[in-house]
Structure 1
Amino acid sequence: MTNELDWFFLIVTFIIGTVIGSFLNVVIYRLPREKSVVTPPSACGSCETELKWNDLIPLISYILLKGRCRYCEESFSIRYPLIELLNGLSYLLIYLAFGPTITAVAYMFLLSVLIAVVYIDLDFMIIPDKLMLTAFIAGIPLTLLQSLHTFTTGLIGALVGGGILLLIAILSKGGMGGGDIKLAAVLGLYLGWPQILLILFLSFFIGAIAGIAIVLRKGKTMKEAIPFGPYLALAAVIVIFWGPQLLNLYKSFYW
């Protein structure tokens, strides 16, 4: 009976993740264009026909329609089902790692935000203030419900994460975007202190390697703007799953 319940919760978690992933597609498309994510209802980008419920079943509709609009037969981007799948798998991995806890709920919400951040930042080189404000406001009860200690270390993490990147932005005279500063504060709130320091270290390390690779491959210069949000997001995911192990590894070397 226990195994059957485990499978049931895993399946439900994945389905919820894909449904929210479908909403993320709306957020990623509309938010940077300053459109409402609630109205109007989803429609085909080509023929503008309003999509019905059976056109919007996560993953399944894309497969059954063979990736095309039912009404004009124009192809849909493969990005849509990939984001649904990515969010569903993210929720599944979080559930497997943290179980049915408020911590898991907080991390699921954060990962959905990070998926939106990555795609929007790559497409538009911005991280919308509305997205960061929503994430921060939601993070207050999500951390407080875990424990007072989690909430306190989260507030410290927010101040440290946002403060460090703000200082870098000031010293570099605009070398760090305002969206990155707010994202660091959000990550600090959810993951706390000292994990935010690990996130910043990993993001700079990953960003440096990726930046060099981009320069060598595409011939860009180091002065050209490269979105930093995806590196912060990747570092946060690493810390969510392996943060304690990495911190213990660091302590074993230097303490």
Structure 2
Amino acid sequence: MTIELSLTVLTAAFLGLLIGSFLNVAAIRIPGGESIVAPPSHCMHCGHRLGPLDLVPVASYLLLRGRCRYCKGRISPAYAIGELTAAAAFAVTAWRVGPDAELAAGLLLASVLIASAHSDLRTMLIPDKIVFFGLAAGLVARIFSHPLPWWDYLLGALLGGGLMLALAFVSKGGMGGGDIKLWTFAGLMLGVKLTLPAVFAASLLGSLYGVWLMMAGKFRRRMEVPFGPFIAAGALLAYWFGEQWIDGYLKLFTS
């Protein structure tokens, strides 16, 4: 790894910590119709406004031992986990893309997917505001950075959303509207070639989770399982490693 790439990865990881904190706020407030700006960050137990020392990503949680500085109420570890997840996703994206204009598109992809997954885990909802922002920003990003022809990304959006719409129709509601929209966004950012590997990876991860639920005796008929985290994981894995997957698969038939 070159010095330039190392600095890019470290900078992206630091940026991920900061943006991850904002993504936590978006995932928590937007589903409830709250503003992401007001009121300022505050304790969920006592309502006390948090100061700068309370808002340092990850470090504040560790130093305060997971409790509010003012009322000692317990703070969910989900906040720190969300920040670390964003930092890791940003770092891997920077490692795979490098110091290139495409990095901005990759970080946008990671941000929208992480916020959507967090929201889905908390509320079983993927808010339209998050996905529509991603679609609008994604269109702009693909105007300035398009390693593939621009129409390839539009076809990717149609493929991602179309496949999930067909699945929702066949399964009679087995796929939620938020999932369909999120796949449309993922397809827009990935393009046609990487959308199918993303769908495969997300489906595989979701199936493995279902098997684990059954083996652990936690599976219940008609239980609702948030699919947003699997969409996020599948899309990011395809963005990072999809080209290698496709090359490896093709070599099976050409060697």
The equivalent of 2:87 in structure 1 is 88
CA distance in 2, matches of 1:172, 1:79: 32
Where 2:231 maps in the other structure, the secondary structure is helix
The equivalent of 1:129 in structure 2 is 128
The equivalent of 1:193 in structure 2 is 192
CA distance in 2, matches of 1:10, 1:170: 42
How far apart are residue 236 of structure 1 and its match?
Answer: 1.1
CA distance in 2, matches of 1:194, 1:8: 30
CA distance in 2, matches of 1:116, 1:130: 11
Q: Give the RMSD, CA atoms, in angstroms.
A: 2.1
CA contact (8 A) 1:215 1:222 kept: no
CA distance in 2, matches of 1:4, 1:185: 36
CA distance in 2, matches of 1:192, 1:124: 29
Alignment deviations for residues 219-248 of structure 1 (CA, whole Å, 9 cap, x no partner): 424533222222211111211111001111
CA contact (8 A) 2:158 2:187 kept: yes
Alignment deviations for residues 102-151 of structure 1 (CA, whole Å, 9 cap, x no partner): 21111112112222222221222111111110111110111121137343
Query: Unaligned stretches of 5+ in structure 2?
Result: none
How far apart are residue 253 of structure 1 and its match?
Answer: 3.0
Residues 26/66 of structure 1: CA separation in 2 closer, same or farther (3 Å cut): same
Where 1:149 maps in the other structure, the secondary structure is coil
CA distance in 2, matches of 1:142, 1:119: 23
CA distance in 2, matches of 1:175, 1:63: 40
CA distance in 1, matches of 2:95, 2:7: 13
CA distance in 2, matches of 1:4, 1:161: 37
Which 10-residue stretch deviates more, 213-222 or 237-246? Answer: 213-222
The equivalent of 1:105 in structure 2 is 104
Identical positions, percent: 36
Query: Unaligned stretches of 5+ in structure 1?
Result: none
Alignment deviations for residues 172-227 of structure 1 (CA, whole Å, 9 cap, x no partner): 22111111111111110000012111111222222222212212323424533222
The equivalent of 2:204 in structure 1 is 205
Where 1:194 maps in the other structure, the secondary structure is helix
Normalised to the residue count of structure 2, the TM-score between the two structures is 0.91
CA distance in 1, matches of 2:107, 2:146: 18
The equivalent of 2:78 in structure 1 is 79
